[in-house]
Chains A and B, each alone.
Chain A
Amino acid sequence: MLPEAIEAMTEQLKRVGNASSLHAAGRRVRRVVEESRETIAQALGARPSEVVFTSGGTEADNLAIKGLYWARRPRRRVLISSVEHHAALDPAHWLADSQGAEVELLPVDEHGRVRPETLRAAIERDPGDVAMVSVMWANNEVGTVQPVNVLAAIAHDHGIPFHTDAVQAVGQLPVSFSGSGADALTLTGHKIGGPMGVGALLLARGLTPVSVQHGGGQERDVRSGTLDAPAIAGFAAAVSTAVREQERLGRHLSELRDELIRRVREAVPDVVLNGDPGDRLPGNAHFSFPGCEGDALLMLLDAKGVECSTGSACSAGVAQPSHVLLAMGADAAAARGSLRFTLGHTSTRDDVDRLIEVLPAAVERARRAGLG
């Protein structure tokens, strides 16, 4: 966590009070929550009333997708990109499985981008029946940045609310809620140096999704539950710092990432870089290593002190071929042979040196172990 976030959070941990209570202690906590709301709104080009606190990105995605679908019934179509995080994909699939929704996965190009004409054509097949559109700001696996404001404008041409999961984007890219044109935007604390277990849905005024969890209606009557004021204070401090530092960090990470990509290509000539070659998250480098299994490579690198990720793991921990790479047209073997290297604010050139030192031997060994 960022020192600013730790400080803001620990300061509040010493206090008692429920932000919804009317007594003095409650009012003090309420003030912390509201100031946090204002800080976040200001940092992200939103109004304070547009910040709905949640327990994190997954809850915010669920609220946006299920809530907007329910609010817009009897419209049935939910258009969502095929490369979303499971926190967005799975609520949509659940709507299809049990709520009568017609979920259409928007195809992506070879870089993982939803082309504007793809969305336009999908909407125009039956615009009056589209409940909502959801396309992430930037992809968590391959890093590709989506043309969010163009896509949002296309949805608005037909009066359709547009949601974007910006969990990966905040702090890495310039993010403005009002500038994007999105009606709902997901962010979360732990991706930007804040605490885990807190996030927000930025929600345009006048838009009222049906609640996913019911109760006291603390957040604009769409989200219930006692607010976690210390976590919110830490979250706001993290958003503020991350947005302030975004440009500097973005430049630093882009340089480091470009060096990493260049040197990985030198070390392993047949490696394939996945995602958009230029327009990608500054800290993201995602590769396919032909003939390797990603989890074997991960294990070998882990043993040498280099930490990276394969696509996603199911709850039993089994690495699955990434749905993102499959949607981009990769075959299952290439998808299984993929690894993501993520750089953050603590990453240095030494980390890249270390990776390049151990990578060739690890790749060779993983190739010998083959694709099971």
Chain B
Amino acid sequence: MGLRVLAAMSGGVDSAVAAARIAEAGHDVTGVHLALSANPQSHRTGARGCCTIEDSRDARRAADVIGIPFYVWDMAERFQRDVVEDFVAEYAAGRTPNPCLRCNEKIKFAAVLDRALALGFDAVATGHHAKLVDGVLSRSVDQGKDQSYVLGVLTREQLSHAIFPLGDSTKAEVREEAARRGLTVADKPDSHDICFIADGDTRGFLAGRLGAAEGPIVDQSGEVVGSHQGAHGFTVGQRKGLRIDRPAPDGRPRYVLSIEPVSNTVTVGPRSALEVTTITCGRPVWNGPDGRDDLTVQLRAHGEVYPCRFEEGAEGLTIELARPATGVAAGQAAVLYSGATVIGSATIMSAA
């Protein structure tokens, strides 16, 4: 007797192949598309601008081809509260959130998983590119597509009810398999941007919610070198879009070093000033084996990997990098690996 598995189907190729694989493995699979964005209209709630209607139809079509029941779950309220509002609040606080990670943590493997378990399912499967064997999370064989970073925040309990069927396949193999299975989403382009910012204009999205407020751009000495329309429009490590008229004395490009939301101040400086080796984190989650060999840390999605040491103390987790990193932003997750295996994660609070 197989498991009762809820396959979260976005309408993309990965989740379609994931659902097909577990159904083929003999599990009792039900496809569910998560409607994440409410777009209320005056009298008819017909069109939702979520993960678009087209995505929902693509998911339904894939479920039909696989031969599994399919439903749409309305998670718009939870998504709005736990992901979108959190995203805005984090920026307002001068941090740089990762909404995909938050969606995994709060929606897919919390709200959806809880509901699925209550309804009698054993597990939730997704099309993430990551390996999960006996509850141990590790990197996908496709290093370019690996998504273990955005799953690294999940707890052991969450991982114990997760299934990631694609970890042993490259994206190219997944597309090939989709075509072979007659899934018409085989050649659908990859999604990249933040799903709830349809036009990709994150700064505009934040300005619309947080409003514009002029503030100073200062250099490391505190001298005002320019102005901006809202500190939330900036990310640590950012170089473009600063619009500073005066070049730096040494003529080198300037980068955002820090963001101070209370005084609405953005501090800029040379690239060398961005380099950090000590990272202080909160909210550590230990979800993997107790590995201490070949320790590395990843500091943002698809970001570079740094050899490291770490120490857990009263004030949180301190990570010492073997070589300096740049553009380390508070609010992002630090995911710790032993080799390819995730051993835990924590939220970056500060770096020096």
Contacts and interface: CB of A to CB of B under 8 A. Distances in A.
B21 interface: no
B71 A299 contact: yes
Most buried by A among B47, B56, B73: B73
A316 interface: yes
A318 interface: yes
Contacts of A317: 33, 35, 56, 60, 71-72
B172 interface: no
B71 A370 contact: no
A299 B116 CA distance: 11
A120 B68 CA distance: 51
- Residues of B in contact with A, size category: 20 to 34
A315 B118 contact: no
A371 to B, nearest CB: 10
B206 to A, nearest CB: 26
Contacts of B33: 316-317
A165 interface: no
A372 B110 CA distance: 11
Interface string A346-372: 000000000000000000011011101
Interface string B25-53: 00000100101000000111111101001
Nearest to A368: B118
A300 B75 contact: no
Contacts of A93: 42-44
A316 B72 contact: yes
A372 B115 contact: yes
A318 B39 CA distance: 12
A314 B47 contact: yes
B193 interface: no
A180 interface: no
A175 interface: no
B77 interface: yes
B81 to A, nearest CB: 11
B117 to A, nearest CB: 9
A296 B48 contact: no
A314 B45 contact: yes
Most buried by B among A295, A296, A317, A318: A318
A156 interface: no
Contacts of A372: 73-75, 77-78, 111, 115
Nearest to B74: A318
A188 B111 CA distance: 41
B50 A316 contact: yes
A320 interface: yes
Contacts of A316: 33, 35, 47-48, 50, 53, 56, 72
A124 interface: no
B119 interface: yes
B249 interface: no
A97 B46 CA distance: 16
Interface in B277-324: none
Contact of A299 (B30, B45, B114): B30
B35 A318 contact: yes
Contacts of A368: 118
A312 to B, nearest CB: 9
Contact of A320 (B45, B71, B75, B78): B45
A315 B46 contact: yes
B67 interface: no
A370 B46 CA distance: 25
Contacts of B35: 316-318
Contacts of A298: 71
Contacts of B53: 315-316
For the complex, would chain A's binding face be called helix, strand, loop or mixed by DSSP majority? Answer: helix
B71 A314 contact: no
Contacts of A313: 72
A16 B44 CA distance: 42
Most buried by B among A296, A300, A314: A314
B211 interface: no
Contacts of B69: 299, 302-303
A303 B78 CA distance: 26
Interface in B258-273: none
A300 B78 contact: no
B222 interface: no
A319 interface: yes
B47 A315 contact: yes
A90 interface: yes
B118 A369 contact: yes
A86 interface: yes
Interface string A261-292: 00000000000000000000000000000000
Given A316-B56, A317-B60, A89 B118 contact: no
Contact of A365 (B71, B114, B119): B119
A238 B43 CA distance: 34
B120 interface: yes
A86 B118 contact: no
Nearest to A313: B72
B9 to A, nearest CB: 11
Nearest to A97: B42
A231 to B, nearest CB: 26
A23 B118 CA distance: 67
B44 A369 contact: no
B132 to A, nearest CB: 25
Nearest to A369: B118
A62 to B, nearest CB: 15
B120 A300 contact: yes
A372 B38 CA distance: 15
Given A295-B71, A316-B48, A318-B48, A369 B43 contact: no
A365 to B, nearest CB: 6
B77 A314 contact: no
Nearest to A89: B43
Interface of B: 30, 33, 35, 42-48, 50, 53, 56, 60, 69, 71-78, 111, 114-115, 118-120
Interface of A: 86, 89-90, 93, 97, 295-296, 298-300, 302-303, 313-320, 365-366, 368-370, 372
Given A93-B43, A97-B42, A302-B69, 17 more contacts: A86-B44, A90-B44, A298-B71, A299-B30, A299-B69, A300-B120, A303-B69, A316-B47, A317-B33, A317-B35, A317-B60, A318-B45, A318-B48, A365-B118, A369-B115, A372-B73, A372-B78
Closest 5 pairs (CB-CB, A-B): A317-B72, A369-B118, A316-B56, A318-B35, A316-B53
